[in-house]
Structure 1
Amino acid sequence: MNTRALTGAGLGLRAPHAASVLAQHPRVGWWEAHSENYFGGGEPVAALSRVREHYPVSLHGVGLGLGSLEAPAPDHLKQLRALVARIEPALVSEHLSWNRAGGRYFNDLLPVPRVEGAIEVIAEHIDAVQNALGRPLLIENVSAYVAFNDELCTEADMLAQLVARTGCGVLLDVNNLHVNALNLGIDPLEEVARLPRDCVGEIHVAGFEWLDAIAIDSHGAPVCDAVWSLLDAALDRFGPTPVLLERDTNLPPLDALLVEYGLLEQRVATADTRLRSARGAMHEAAPC
């Protein structure tokens, strides 16, 4: 089974497209699947295994709730470990969010209040997951619609500290940065600059929608110009990095989605060319 590292552009694998992917084998660099969709076994995970025979795959989790006070649920972690063993993904990622409290589960990616003690709790949970899986996680920044009072650091600062404490990496979602800029007034370029240059293992782009003057991270629209520009800035800072196009709602036919994927491919290729040119110029300018 091919376990090579991800490179270039990838596309989110969604259930309505799985049959077409297996029948057509479109020219896509790699696919990313939501881990929890395959915990039940049966045909979904069998189809993902068949996709994995032809493409590299990344697994992206939405349910561990690393920012909850409670440790990750043992059954959830057990199923994730089994899926990772079966699929052998190139990367495994999860969100910097919480989803459980007082015995209740919230089906959402709730932002973590960046208060005293939060980093220690999350680092402990990341360590537990990485030890169980025998590999590092990538942790994704999330969209937020409210800000908390008296926070001690920015989200990028928290991610940088978690990288230093646990050895995890970062999955940088530049659409989430743009949504937070619109809703909360953060400077997305400052957040990009706060992350260590060597910590980002994957980047996401997606589209958002407006609802009552609030930017909603719906993954239900094409990528906007501002997010494309943030992607350029991120690639300039972090260098060649695998980039995923996400689409979860208002899902178009696969052929239509592949058109937007082609735009991402072009953007990534242009960034690679720009980086090589910059490096070449620096080499020529270096003193003997």
Structure 2
Amino acid sequence: MERLGTGIGWRPEIADAVEEMPGVDWVEVVAENVCPAHLPESLLRLRRRGVTVVPHGVSLGLGGAEPPDEDRLTALAERARALGSPLVTEHIAFVRGGGALTASPRLEAGHLLPVPRTRDALDVLCENVRIAQEALPVPLAVENIAALLAWPDEELTEGQFLYELADRTGVRLLIDVANLHTNHINRGEDPARALAELPVEALAYVHVAGGFARDGVWHDSHAHPVPRPVLDILTDLASRVAPPGVLLERDENFPAPDELERELTAIGTAVESGRTAASRVAARRAADSAPTPAPARGAGPAAASDTGDRGAHGPDRRTGGMESARQRVALAQTALLSALVAGTPVPEGFDRVRIGVQARSLTAKRADVVAKVAPELPVLLGEEYRTAFLAYAQRHPMTGGYRQDALEFAESLLLADRPRDAAVRREVREWWLDRSGPAPRSRRPAARVARAAQRVLLRR
């Protein structure tokens, strides 16, 4: 695996600071936020300096019941080629539900949701990863995610689940130590056990990030300083294996550049502490002439020995094969997602309080992202934006992307004669008309503009 070194997540808000920051060997960019034909000048300058750029996807939904979307895979491959990346990364998560497998309306989570650690979900994930690997021009690495809630009746620990995934597909692992900390607080899972069960030879690189506590749970915000427990988990990981790369993630609430530099220094110190600890253990073993024990693997290949025809060969064909596994996973994930975004009953076995916390978190995240993709709306609506959007979101689950969500939110306001200020309402209508067609009105026939306006007026 290529040695990446010390990295930081590239974001437009800190692009200038990242370019001037000493000791940055590589950056990671959210794949969906860049266009291969129009890469930001900052990224091009970094590339010319020899800085590695890795695209990090958030919308494939590799842990979902359906095979990964071909268009999304093509887009991710295009970004890898345009950036000259040595690998691409995605998440072990599902982000949508419903559709043909459940004969129900399509739903979008707008965020990463945890995959049940069951044999069915593992079989589907392995198949989806193999499909993605075949479509991508460079190796794929997948990331463990943070979770506010746990699935009932799980069959594997996180370490066992990741071990079998890597063993069956050869996929690389992107280990987020902040997510291990989050799952320790929220789900009582031991980070040290997860690290002991991982196939460390599959490690591609490591994420480090901050968060905060609220509603009795830990939120992986990427908007707060990295806490000491996360650095301690990083030290533990570095005592087991030398990470090929370690990257600081920050998505908002960006501090001054010198604060980011201090966080990078703290991360480097944590890694060095792990290496020092590993060297001491090796020296003691050498002095005692004791054989080096094999690292703990938890379930590893042994856990697959009782899975019938599954293991490295996929789902047991006696249970109906991959399509049946996909349908079972689809039904379970859709039931959970519907409870989170559409107010349907909470599936049996889930913690209702945690479901409420996760639902509120998804809605807040949705409001924040819509404000970013359509920044004119919070400017036009002012303080009314957030209240109005949260009320809209409770009645309208997201069925498409965030840009579509912004348009549907604006349309819902107009149909309800909102905002009350007529001048502001006219501006919202102008904004909606300018974006509701395939091209801005300046490039669209006048008749089409008139029809779009008439649709809104007739519905009022």
Task: Establish whether TM, by shorter chain, passes 0.5.
Answer: yes
Distance in 2 between the 1:286 and 1:36 partners? 52
CA contact (8 A) 1:66 1:97 kept: yes
C-alpha change, 1:30 and 1:284, in structure 2 (3 Å) is farther
Distance in 1 between the 2:116 and 2:86 partners? 30
Distance in 1 between the 2:83 and 2:36 partners? 14
CA contact (8 A) 1:6 1:90 kept: no
Q: CA offset at residue 243 of structure 1?
A: 1.2
Paired amino acid for 2:81: A
Distance in 2 between the 1:244 and 1:135 partners? 20
Q: CA offset at residue 41 of structure 1?
A: 4.0
Distance in 2 between the 1:34 and 1:86 partners? 14
Distance in 2 between the 1:242 and 1:273 partners? 17
Q: CA offset at residue 53 of structure 1?
A: 2.2
Correspondence list, 1:118-129, <5 A: 118-129=121-132
CA contact (8 A) 1:8 1:268 kept: no
Paired amino acid for 1:64: L
Helix, strand or coil: the match of 2:237?
helix
Paired amino acid for 2:63: G
Correspondence list, 1:244-255, <5 A: 244-255=247-258
Kindly indicate whether residue 146 of structure 2 is the aligned counterpart of residue 143 of structure 1. yes
Cα deviation digits, residues 34-87 of structure 1 (max 9, x gap)? 11111464253x432322222122222111100111111211111111111111
Kindly indicate whether residue 16 of structure 2 is the aligned counterpart of residue 19 of structure 1. yes
Match of 2:42 in 1: 47
CA contact (8 A) 1:65 1:97 kept: yes
Aligned mate of 1:233, from 231, 236, 245: 236
Aligned mate of 2:70, from 71, 74, 95: 74
Give the structure, 1 or 2, with the largest relative contact order (CA under 8 Å, sep 6 or more): 1
Match of 1:93 in 2: 89
More strand by share: 1
CA contact (8 A) 2:54 2:80 kept: no
Match of 2:30 in 1: 34
C-alpha change, 1:239 and 1:40, in structure 2 (3 Å) is closer
Distance in 2 between the 1:160 and 1:43 partners? 36
CA contact (8 A) 2:86 2:139 kept: no
Distance in 2 between the 1:120 and 1:199 partners? 19
Relative to the length of structure 2, the TM-score reads 0.58
Kindly indicate whether residue 199 of structure 2 is the aligned counterpart of residue 196 of structure 1. yes
Consecutive aligned runs of 4 or more in structure 1 exceeding 6 Å deviation: none
C-alpha change, 1:25 and 1:173, in structure 2 (3 Å) is closer
C-alpha change, 1:39 and 1:100, in structure 2 (3 Å) is farther
Aligned mate of 1:224, from 220, 227, 241: 227
Q: CA offset at residue 283 of structure 1?
A: 4.5
Aligned-residue CA RMSD in angstroms?
2.1
Flag structure 1 segments of 5+ consecutive residues without an equivalent. Answer: none
Paired amino acid for 2:15: A
CA contact (8 A) 2:86 2:138 kept: no
Mark the structure with the bigger radius of gyration.
Answer: 2
Q: CA offset at residue 255 of structure 1?
A: 3.0
